[in-house]
Structure 1
Amino acid sequence: MQPLLEVQDLRVSFPVRGGEVQAVRGIGFHIQPGEAVAIVGESGCGKSVTAQAIMRLLPQHPARIREGTIRFQGKDLLRLKEREMQSIRGKDIGMIFQDPMTSLNPTMTIGRQITEVLHKHQRLTASEAKRRAIDMLEMVGIPHPASRFSQYPHEFSGGMRQRAMIAMALACRPALLIADEPTTALDVTIQAQILRVLKSLQREFGTSIILITHDLGIVADLCDRVIVMYAGQIVETGTKREIFKQPQHPYTRGLLRSLPRIDRSKDEPLVPIYGTPPDLSNPPSGCPFWARCGDAMRICRERLPEKTAIGETHSASCWLLHPLAREVAR
């Protein structure tokens, strides 16, 4: 099956005094039609930069896309003119941003912000666009959508603003939805509601989803595959079951060990990942995780590990997977 989205050797950097920060360093992945894929990792690992590069929303100054291709429905998005890209944003690719309060226009009603997308991409009349917008607000679970249509963002709660963002992103039935930390700063009850909304809308519209998050706990119920990023690179990728049940990279195992679990004793402490990520203005020549890895070998600091296939859908970049590596207790 032809992938809906295919990213190859993407490299994004930000010039700084005396050099540049290599935020994304040669990543590649694909998304199939109707598939939900999570990109997980610590803050600063390149998740949001990757999403903004796909949408072509990175500022031309100072961001620089050094190399790579981003093919969506067969088109290389990096080669399109801005006018062509504007016809894709909102229509074929929707995006939910991290903070709805700063993403929504405080001077415009919620209804007007949704209908603006419909007017631009679907040429609906005012009455048709209003009816569609109210239907979308109802679909994402906003009570009394007809009256909420005329309200402003400050009149909505945090969870309702996020739902309004989802309604706006899905108004034109996009083939791909990028959800960048859609549950940040929301309490656990609202988080669960937002994830249920995304899951039901995916089933109804067949939309592919890229869920960007640092929280593996919200991935299990929504996503089919997981991509683990660290220091601007993909260190492991696999199905949800493979990542949760058989993690192969020490960083992935560290993320899982640091999660609270209900089957742990209340006196059992969480195990953090000690240390800090590397400075990407001067990235290490070897594995970016070696300084924080308890199983690091000499070769880890000297050479970057190649991707090793563990199965048909599972791979990781770690020297411990090399046939000559020492046995390590998992």
Structure 2
Amino acid sequence: MQPLLEIQDLRVSFHVRGGEVQAVRGIEFHVQPGEAVAIVGESGCGKSVTAQAIMRLLPQPPARIHQGTIRFQGKDLLRLKEREMQSIRGKDIGMIFQDPMTSLNPTMTIGRQITEVLNKHQHMSASEAKRRAIEMLEMVGIPHPASRFSQYPHEFSGGMRQRAMIAMALACRPALLIADEPTTALDVTIQAQILRVLKSLQREFGTSIILITHDLGIVADLCDRVLVMYAGQIVETGTKREIFKHPQHPYTRGLLRSLPRIDRSKDEPLVPIYGTPPDLAKPPAGCPFWARCSDSMHICQQLQPESTAVSGTHSASCWLLHPMAREVAK
């Protein structure tokens, strides 16, 4: 099956006063039609930069896309003119941003912000756009959608604002939805509601989803595959079962060990990942995780590990997977 989205050797940097920060360093992945893929990793690893590069929302300068391709439905988005890209944003690719309060326009009603997308991409009349917007508000679970249509963002709660963002992102039935931390700062009850909305909309419309998150619990509930990012690179990829049950990269194992779990013994302590990520203005020559890895070897400091296939769907970039590497406890 032809991938809906395919990214190859994407490299993005930011030119700042102190030099050049290499935020994304040669990542490659794909998303199939109807698939939900998670991108996980700690803050600053390049998750949101990747999403904004797909949407072509990075200001240039200071950002610069050095090389790579982003193919969506066969088109390389990096080669399109801005006018062509505007016809794709919101229509074929929708995006839910981290903070709906700063993403929504405080001077416009919620209804107007949704109908604006429909007017631009679907060329609907005012009455048709209003009807579709109210349907979308009802679909994402906002009570009394007809009256809420005329309200402003400050009149909505945090969870309702996020639902309004989802309604706006899905108004044109996009083929791909990028959800950048869609449940950040929401309580667990609202998080569960947002996840139910995303899953039901994925089933109804067949929408592919890229979920960017820190919360591995959300990943287990919603996604099919997981990409683990660290220091601007994808260090492990696999199905959610492979990542949760048989993690191969020390960073992935560290993430899972540092999470509280209901099946963990009360006497079993959480194990943090000690140290800090590398400075991406001066990235290390070898594995970016070697300084924080208890199993690092001399070669880890010198050479970047290549991606090693563990199965047909599971791979990791770690020298411990090399046939000549020593055995370590996992």
TM-score clears 0.5: yes
Question: After superposition, what is the alpha-carbon deviation per residue over 1:176-235, rounded to whole angstroms, capped at 9, x for unaligned?
Answer: 000000000001111111011000000000000000011211100100000000000000
State how far apart, in whole Å, the 2-side matches of 1:315 and 1:268 are: 29
Q: Secondary structure at the match of 2:6?
A: strand
Question: After superposition, what is the alpha-carbon deviation per residue over 1:280-310, rounded to whole angstroms, capped at 9, x for unaligned?
Answer: 0000000000000000000000100000000
Q: Secondary structure at the match of 1:243?
A: helix
Question: After superposition, what is the alpha-carbon deviation per residue over 1:243-295, rounded to whole angstroms, capped at 9, x for unaligned?
Answer: 00000000000000111101223343211100000000000000000000000
1:49 aligned residue: 49
1:125 aligns with 2:125: yes
1:246 aligns with 2:246: yes
| 1:322 CA drift (Å) | 0.1
| 1:60 CA drift (Å) | 1.0
Equivalent residue runs for 1:120-199 within 5 Å? 120-199=120-199
Q: Secondary structure at the match of 2:236?
A: strand
Normalised by the size of structure 1, how large is the TM-score?
0.99
Runs of 4+ in 1 over 6 A off after TM superposition: none
2:3 aligned residue: 3
State how far apart, in whole Å, the 2-side matches of 1:252 and 1:263 are: 19
Q: Secondary structure at the match of 2:147?
A: helix
Normalised by the size of structure 2, how large is the TM-score?
0.99
Q: Secondary structure at the match of 1:220?
A: helix
State how far apart, in whole Å, the 2-side matches of 1:168 and 1:273 are: 38
| 1:109 CA drift (Å) | 0.3
State how far apart, in whole Å, the 1-side matches of 2:18 and 2:51 are: 27
Q: Secondary structure at the match of 1:13?
A: strand
State how far apart, in whole Å, the 2-side matches of 1:28 and 1:263 are: 34
| 1:43 CA drift (Å) | 0.3
Question: After superposition, what is the alpha-carbon deviation per residue over 1:65-119, rounded to whole angstroms, capped at 9, x for unaligned?
Answer: 0010000000000000000000000000000000000000000000000000000
Count of residue correspondences: 330
| 1:23 CA drift (Å) | 0.1
Q: Say which is worse superposed, 102-111 or 265-274, in terms of deviation.
A: 265-274
User: Which stretches in structure 1 are left out of the alignment for 5+ residues?
Assistant: none
Q: Cα RMSD between the aligned structures?
A: 0.6
2:329 aligned residue: 329
| 1:25 CA drift (Å) | 0.2
Q: Secondary structure at the match of 2:95?
A: strand
Q: Secondary structure at the match of 2:133?
A: helix
| 1:18 CA drift (Å) | 4.2
State how far apart, in whole Å, the 2-side matches of 1:257 and 1:122 are: 47
State how far apart, in whole Å, the 1-side matches of 2:37 and 2:74 are: 19
* Contact kept in structure 2, 1:37 and 1:209, CA below 8 Å: yes
State how far apart, in whole Å, the 1-side matches of 2:222 and 2:240 are: 10
State how far apart, in whole Å, the 2-side matches of 1:299 and 1:312 are: 26
State how far apart, in whole Å, the 2-side matches of 1:232 and 1:194 are: 28
Q: Secondary structure at the match of 2:87?
A: helix
State how far apart, in whole Å, the 1-side matches of 2:16 and 2:126 are: 47
Q: Secondary structure at the match of 2:131?
A: helix
State how far apart, in whole Å, the 2-side matches of 1:142 and 1:18 are: 46
| 1:16 CA drift (Å) | 1.9
Q: Secondary structure at the match of 1:130?
A: helix
Q: Secondary structure at the match of 1:88?
A: coil
Q: Secondary structure at the match of 1:54?
A: helix
Q: Secondary structure at the match of 1:288?
A: coil
State how far apart, in whole Å, the 2-side matches of 1:269 and 1:168 are: 43
* Contact kept in structure 2, 1:110 and 1:164, CA below 8 Å: yes
* Contact kept in structure 2, 1:11 and 1:65, CA below 8 Å: yes
| 1:4 CA drift (Å) | 0.3
State how far apart, in whole Å, the 1-side matches of 2:134 and 2:239 are: 36
Q: Secondary structure at the match of 2:228?
A: strand
State how far apart, in whole Å, the 1-side matches of 2:68 and 2:183 are: 30
* Contact kept in structure 2, 1:217 and 1:259, CA below 8 Å: no
State how far apart, in whole Å, the 1-side matches of 2:247 and 2:14 are: 32
